[in-house]
Amino acid sequence: MKDARLRVRSLVTALVLLLITSFTVRAQEGDGFLSDLHNFRVNNYMALDAYYRFSASGDTETLNEIVASINAANESMNSVADSTAGVLSGEQVESLNVEFDKFKDLMRSNINDVRNTGYPDLRLVSDMANQALSMNQVASEMYAVARESAEVATAQRVEAARSAAVTMAQMMAKYSARTHSSVSQTFQGSSNDIPLDEQATQFDAFLSQITKGGAQGPLKAALDDLTSKWEFIRGSYINYNDNNVAFVIDRYSKGILRGLETTIGLLRENA
């Protein structure tokens, strides 16, 4: 009888451990899925930002930035499609992939226009900008659905940092579009668009959420650096016509994105 009770207890313990392990694995897969969706959104706007600069200069270095960002977005899309987390249906993932294919086709056509004629086709550039907005909306909706079904509660500060990164990438693309006069109207008229100064205010709110709570060591250093860089360029995003030095804004904005990536990693480690 005693042996039977021990066997039952051992079996129950084994089942509990199995359930805990299964939940942990699913939680990790779900968190990785969200991370891939996040990186997908950021890199597509980074590609768009690089394109606007390429449309004015046509230089190889900027073209390489476009290619690198598209490749990074492609890797994230493949990871989303191959995920075993089961947080989105195959149809949902495929719908995002279709939107991404449209964006890549438009990007390819716009790059070829600049390389072949020396200037962009404004209608085609506008189509690409609108497709980027539409694709980001689909990706954001899927991110929200995935958060609810991923069986993992991401920390509020991590979510704020991810939202800040997407917002910064969007702002960079919009700032580049306005800086290069030939494509300055490509974001105008979209019902999904938010004015640049309003996005800067949104970024303020996200940064405030990120910096709430205790921070020390590498995390404190990362947050201090983020705050310092943002304070330096904030006025240019709020008032575009003031202090408009495009290469400085680009350099500091990229630094903020790198800082947000570091911050997200540190926050996830400390969760």
Same domain, 72 and 43: yes
- What's the pLDDT at 156? 92
Q: Determine the Cα–Cα distance for residues 31 and 153; give it in Å rounded to an integer.
A: 9
- Pair 121, 82 in one domain: yes
Residues with Cβ within 8 Å of residue 51, at least 6 apart in sequence: 66, 107, 110, 111, 128
Contact criterion met (CB below 8 Å) for 260 and 164 = yes
Q: What 3-state DSSP class applies to 141?
A: helix
Considering the domain architecture, whether residues 144 and 178 belong to the same structural domain is answered as no
> Is the domain of 266 the same as that of 183?
yes
For the chain, 271 residues long, give each residue's pLDDT as a single digit of tens: 556 555 555 554 444 343 333 334 444 445 789 999 999 999 999 999 999 999 998 999 999 999 999 999 999 999 999 986 778 888 999 999 999 999 999 999 999 999 999 989 999 999 999 999 999 999 999 999 888 875 666 889 999 999 999 999 999 999 999 887 555 555 544 445 788 999 999 999 999 999 987 788 999 999 999 999 999 999 999 998 776 788 899 999 999 999 999 999 999 888 6
pLDDT of 6 reads 53
Residues 6 or more apart in contact with residue 174 via CB below 8 angstroms: 187, 196, 199
Q: Which of 135, 116, 107 is nearest to 49 (CA)?
A: 107
Q: What is the domain-level CATH number for residue 168?
A: 1.20.120
Are 116 and 172 found together in one domain? no
Distance between alpha carbon 270 and the CA centroid of its chain, in Å?
A: 21
pLDDT at 27: 45
Tell me the whole-structure pTM to 2 decimals: 0.85
Coil, strand or helix at 84: coil
What is 147-192 written as a DSSP string?
Answer: HHHSS----HHHHHHHHHHHHHHHHHHHHHHHHSGGGTTTTTT-TT
- Distance between CA 125 and CA 45 in Å, rounded? 14
Quote the number of domains for the chain.
2
Residue span of the structural domain in which 233 resides: 155-271
pLDDT at 151: 63
Closest Cα to residue 175, out of 155, 202, 199? 199
From CA 230, how far away is CA 225, in angstroms rounded? Answer: 9
Give the model's pLDDT for residue 269: 87
Say if residue 109 is in the same domain as residue 211: no
Residues 166 and 200 in one domain: yes
Whether residues 16 and 55 fall in one domain:
yes
Q: What DSSP element (H or E) covers 60?
A: helix 60-82
* 142, 178: one domain: no
